[in-house]
Amino acid sequence: MSKNILSVKNITKIYQAKNGETIALDNIDLDIKKGEFVSIIGPSGCGKSTLLSIIAGLEEKNTGEIYLDGKKVDGISSEIGYMLQKDSLLEWRTIYNNVILGLEIRGIKTKENEEYVNNLLKKYNLYEFKDKYPTQLSGGMRQRAALIRTLAVKPKLLLLDEAFSALDYQTRIMVTKDVYEILREEGITALIVTHDISESISLSDRVVVLSKRPAKIKAIHEIKFDMQNRTPINCRERPEFSKYFDTLWKELDING
């Protein structure tokens, strides 16, 4: 029994193109403990999203292994949820039919699971909108609906790929807080890719800094706030926040 929910070992990714090959990821090793929130930051184009796609099983890797709860994962795992920048709600389906899409695709649309979804909708204030269409909802509500769609299939690990960057600033702060609280409440481990240093500090227990291409792990920072009931909003006011920001900023900038 390992207490690491996710172990990424020696992941290398090489892109082949007509004019040569590009090493995107160079021997990435990463362990994530159960319940932990980990962010990955790095210069743009360094391959952070690629890493997430590989963990999600949506992209092939050249070398390396991925273990979820000690078991080797090959391809798409039913225990890993994936959230993208766009909410990708299907505008021809009602909110309810959108959030059960994963259950439908996986062929597990059982009574219990539907009840679970209904409870999630109630708990996170979307139940009364379940017969509405996505266009009738605000950006924040849509992102929450997208999160419930992901949670409906009960993943152990959630991957968030710039999941908030399409939202305007205020909505984004609120949605980040919502998502943070929902994931903590449901006890889900999260691996977050973002280009936003503040977001990474405010959300995570650890921040992983990747170097530019070929991406290696440059540093891993523990983020600790000396406070109770930390939320992504109130931790921004702590003095530690700006120290972390400085450290990460320099790391991204200097050797970029």
Partner 1 sequence: MDNKNISADRKKYLRKIRINKITILITQILLLVAFIALWEILADAKIINSFITSSPSRILNTFLNMSDSNLMMHIGVTVYETIIGFIAGTLLGVIIAILLWWSEFLSKVLEPFLVVLSSLPKTALGPIIIIWVGAGTPAIIVMAIAISLVVTILDMSNGFLNTDKEKIKMAKSFNASKLQLLTKIVIPSNISTFINTLKVNIGLSLVGVITGEFLVSKAGLGYLIVYGGQVFQLDLVMTSVIILGIVAAIMYQSVVILEKIILREKK
Rounded Cα gap, residues 221 and 37, in angstroms: 12
Q: At what angle do helices 169-186 and 139-151 cross, to 10 degrees?
A: 20
Work out which of 70, 105, 125, 131 binds partner 1, going by CB under 8 A.
105
The reply to whether 102 sits near partner 1 by the rule CB under 8 A is yes
Strands, E, within the chain: which ranges?
4-17, 20-33, 37-41, 63-68, 71-72, 80-83, 157-161, 189-193, 206-210, 217-222
Alpha-carbon dihedral 123, 128, 133, 134, rounded to 10 degrees: -40
Cβ distance to partner 1 smaller for residue 58 or 220: 58
The reply to whether 58 sits near partner 1 by the rule CB under 8 A is yes
The reply to whether 78 sits near partner 1 by the rule CB under 8 A is yes
The reply to whether 6 sits near partner 1 by the rule CB under 8 A is no
The reply to whether 88 sits near partner 1 by the rule CB under 8 A is yes
Stretch that binds partner 1, among 3-11, 78-86, 194-202, 204-212 (CB under 8 A): 78-86
Work out which of 42, 43, 47, 81 binds partner 1, going by CB under 8 A.
81
Cβ distance to partner 1 smaller for residue 9 or 132: 132
Q: Are 36 and 30 in contact (CB under 8 A)?
A: no
The reply to whether 71 sits near partner 1 by the rule CB under 8 A is no
The reply to whether 76 sits near partner 1 by the rule CB under 8 A is yes
Token duo for residue 131: 């017969």
Cβ distance to partner 1 smaller for residue 81 or 214: 81
Token duo for residue 64: 């390396």
Q: Are 234 and 201 in contact (CB under 8 A)?
A: no
Rounded Cα gap, residues 183 and 155, in angstroms: 11
The reply to whether 153 sits near partner 1 by the rule CB under 8 A is yes
Q: Are 160 and 192 in contact (CB under 8 A)?
A: yes
x/- binding map, residues 118-147, to partner 1, per CB under 8 A?
---------------x--------------
Work out which of 3, 71, 86, 122 binds partner 1, going by CB under 8 A.
86
The residues that touch partner 1, with contacts defined as CB under 8 A, are 56, 58, 76, 78, 81-82, 84-86, 88, 90, 92, 101-102, 104-106, 133, 153
